[in-house]
Amino acid sequence: MLQHASGSGPQNAAGRQEPAAEPAGWVEPRATALLVLADGTVIEGAGIGAVGEAAGEVCFNTSMTGYQEILTDPSYAGQVVTFTFPHIGNVGTNEEDVETAVLERPSGVRGLVLAASTTEPANWRATRSLDSWLRAHGIVGITGVDTRALTALIREGGMPNAVIAHDPAGLFDREGLAARASELPSMEGLDLVPMVTRDAEGNWTEGVWELGRGHGTPEGGRFHVVAIDYGIKVNILRLLTRSGCKVTIVPATASADQILALRPDGVFLSNGPGDPAATAAYAVPVIREILDRKVPTFGICLGHQLMGLALGGRTVKMHQGHHGANHPVRDNTTGKVEIVSMNHGFAVDPASLPGHATQTHVSLFDGTNCGIELTDRPAFSVQYHPEASPGPRDSHYLFDRFIQMMEKGAKATPAV
């Protein structure tokens, strides 16, 4: 187990510290939650959130803020998130910091792992505690875990599959949970986009949140952007509307003909969960058609990976992935370094890309590809979240690049 004994007592003859004797009649508290890894490792703790079981791939996130935005990011579908920052839940939750555009599917996260127990919220925007919010949305959690040890395990062995279980009575079928964890499929080969995409076309009008005003509805609509929803975060949509775009969202399964019939000035390829090679079966032919029509195109995260696949490249499963709001990336076009928000377990292999795809951004943590731009068509993409929420706003300039690309496209012959 990834837990350390507490207490201290007298030294034995060898000079080692003996555990302190427990008081008479003391009974060790029963664990009310378990995290059972595929290799049989059992981690005990206290349950939080929904009662029940959930299964998924365990990753760790190094963000210090924005846990509600992380828990509602559809890109985390199929995953159990371990927060490395110890104080999660201290600002509660509210109805404005939700990042899923499909409200009836409030979260893709299967479960969460915390070090410390949550406290009552201490923030004027809070409307309920994290525990209450988790229960309302059916998310299972465990607290009291040595998250540093679990993070080290993931760094050394990769992201394991696991089952997380919460029972207030502490009654668990440990062998059954271990068997279930060992039988879970790998994230490789899984198309999880159908879990998080919208079912029908729709418009987006909400703007960026401002103190005293909320989100509001920006005026304008100079450019019409069609956003393909692979699991889109809503702050992307808010930044597009703030930039003066009319935004139409379409499901991940929308055809190229359906998208082009909307006469877009630009197409946005959103973030999303799962293995991009699996989603590519229906997404790549659409993206290729859009690129061939020379419609200005901007992709992020899964959208970036799908663009790479559409160009004939390949994607690879990462050892531990990138999950956090403190990742350094170099923009090769300017030489500047920006701190960005990331959430991905797959990456584009830059060596597999064709000559007309330039690598524009690179991770300064491990050198993986973080951006591409085409030299023969108006398209670019990045392997991170320029919209933040949570995270720094260093990369908001990419939305300006997209606007400038559409401005140039407006002067050219219409694509349709």
- 300-332 exposure pattern, b = at least 16 Cβ within 10 A, e = fewer: bbbbbbbbbbbbebebebeebbbbbbebebbbe
For residues 327 and 363, the answer to whether their CB atoms sit within 8 Å is yes
> How would you classify residue 206: left for phi > 0, otherwise alpha for psi between -120 and 50, otherwise beta?
beta
Residue 390 CA to residue 70 CA, distance in Å, equals 7
**Marked catalytic residue, from 44, 338, 373, 387:** 387
Instruction: Identify whether 385 is a catalytic site residue.
Output: yes
The set of residues, in sequence order, having a beta carbon less than 8 Å from that of 404 and lying 6+ positions away, is none
Residue 11 CA to residue 333 CA, distance in Å, equals 62
Residue 360 CA to residue 398 CA, distance in Å, equals 12
Evaluate the omega torsion of the peptide bond into residue 251 and state whether it is cis, within 30 degrees of 0. no
**Marked catalytic residue, from 301, 304, 361, 370:** 301
Termini Cα distance of the chain: 60
For residues 262 and 226, the answer to whether their CB atoms sit within 8 Å is yes
Pairing between strand 297-300 and 266-269? parallel
Instruction: Identify whether 322 is a catalytic site residue.
Output: no
Residue 388 CA to residue 294 CA, distance in Å, equals 28
Q: Which of 105, 131, 150, 145 is CA-nearest to residue 51?
A: 131
Please tell me whether residue 134 adopts helix, strand or coil conformation: helix
What percent of the chain is helix, strand and coil (3-state, nearest 5)? 25, 30, 50
For residues 263 and 293, the answer to whether their CB atoms sit within 8 Å is no
Please tell me whether residue 8 adopts helix, strand or coil conformation: coil
Instruction: Identify whether 57 is a catalytic site residue.
Output: no
Would you please indicate which residues are annotated as catalytic (active-site) residues? 301, 385, 387
